Structure 1
């Protein structure tokens, strides 16, 4: 795995680099936000994952994440933050980060999260390849208004494409749309979509659902309903064409 580490603290970069090396991972290091965007833009396909510090010189992690997402909607981003503000953490997720880790953090916990995120992507790529068959169905999920192809990572709302859905947003919609009207708790969605113990950080689901709703509403309507005190459910049966 090739990682772009965006970190201006040399001691943190060196410590992370040692743990990455033990895993056999390669890394490039950018020490400020401008350098990070330039390095990624020069060769987006080079990197399997980005670890992104929130507090950076020249351009902060929020701006870097925004610009990276313009270049690649899918490259996994794990944001590292020393801030305790819940608003900052949700903002990071809202601009496209897949996960965040608060400093000070355990290197082993960070490694576990990287592995879980990468493993899920590899499984999805494998599933894409396995579905390239003559009799492959056009869509895996078809509801009243929504059509979803997991192999193509495509979502249509009344035959209009829903653009710029991130991997986690797609997985959330796919999970719920497979079982319309079923209520999913946040912990169930974390386990199903993130695939590991998220240490109780259930608000990440709320941040991703908010962004997903905005993208769906650009071409259709809100089909993800909040069930107060429980979680979320998919229901497009009441949407008017």
Structure 2
């Protein structure tokens, strides 16, 4: 049995059961939920490895649930919805979903996207662990002004206060800190943090930057109009 647990949140029992059946054929463990409120309780007690999340739910909607989960972790989230406008897709990606699938969809396509997201997640976790082991031999930390990254412990301090970051927040910050004053395009950051096979919007980078800025007040990440971002340090070139 696959060790990954996938939560399927949809108030349509037929869609929920269909999605679960296809995922179980691939040996994933699943749990079906009808409301976002029940899903939020699951997150607090037994968080799954991935979410397949309907946008239009009774009570709390999928957008709000996605936003709440994303504040706390980088668990993969695929949104499914009958709403197929560009605005809906962008909003979902900006709130932190990793993919967006429009109903009606092929269950096989959904399974393929689930596999891709979980493979990317496992690869990021493995790379993070391996990077920590290797860098601990060479250097255990990066210090830039008020920023301190303790690489061997994967801990972040800003102005001597420890900050809790999700996996992708940490990986993005590490990339910028390893290359201070270098200007990265959004596409470069997408590849370095999300992987080569990420097909979502580059607005995901903007959303991740916003989350880092919210957690680390006055952190010197600069937006470069029409290009991307850089971590500016004193004495750095323009």
After TM superposition, the score normalised by the length of structure 1 is 0.77
Is the Cα contact below 8 Å between 1:8 and 1:56 reproduced in 2?
A: yes
Is the Cα contact below 8 Å between 1:116 and 1:195 reproduced in 2?
A: no
1:32 corresponds, among 31, 35, 43, to: 35
- Going from structure 1 to structure 2, the CA distance change for 1:205 and 1:84 (only over 3 Å counts) comes to farther
Offset of residue 93 of structure 1: 4.9
- Going from structure 1 to structure 2, the CA distance change for 1:228 and 1:132 (only over 3 Å counts) comes to closer
| Structure-1 separation of matches of 2:208 and 2:129 | 27
SS in 1 for 2:197: coil
Number of the residue aligned with 2:157: 156
| Structure-2 separation of matches of 1:151 and 1:76 | 25
Alignment size in residue pairs: 230
Offset of residue 101 of structure 1: 0.8
Q: How does 1:55-204 map to 2 (within 5 A)?
A: 55-68=56-69, 72-84=72-84, 89=89, 91-93=91-93, 97-104=96-103, 105=105, 107-126=107-126, 131=132, 137-139=139-141, 141-163=142-164, 165-199=165-199, 201-204=201-204
The answer to whether the aligner puts 1:232 opposite 2:229 as a matched pair is yes
| Structure-2 separation of matches of 1:114 and 1:153 | 27
Number of the residue aligned with 1:11: 14
| Structure-1 separation of matches of 2:152 and 2:88 | 33
SS in 2 for 1:232: strand
Offset of residue 162 of structure 1: 2.2
Is the Cα contact below 8 Å between 2:190 and 2:202 reproduced in 1?
A: yes
Q: Give per-residue Cα distances to partners, 1:181-230, cap 9 Å, x unaligned.
A: 2222112221221114333511121122122222221xxx2321111111
| Structure-2 separation of matches of 1:9 and 1:168 | 32
Structure 1: 5+ residue stretches without partners = none
After TM superposition, the score normalised by the length of structure 2 is 0.78
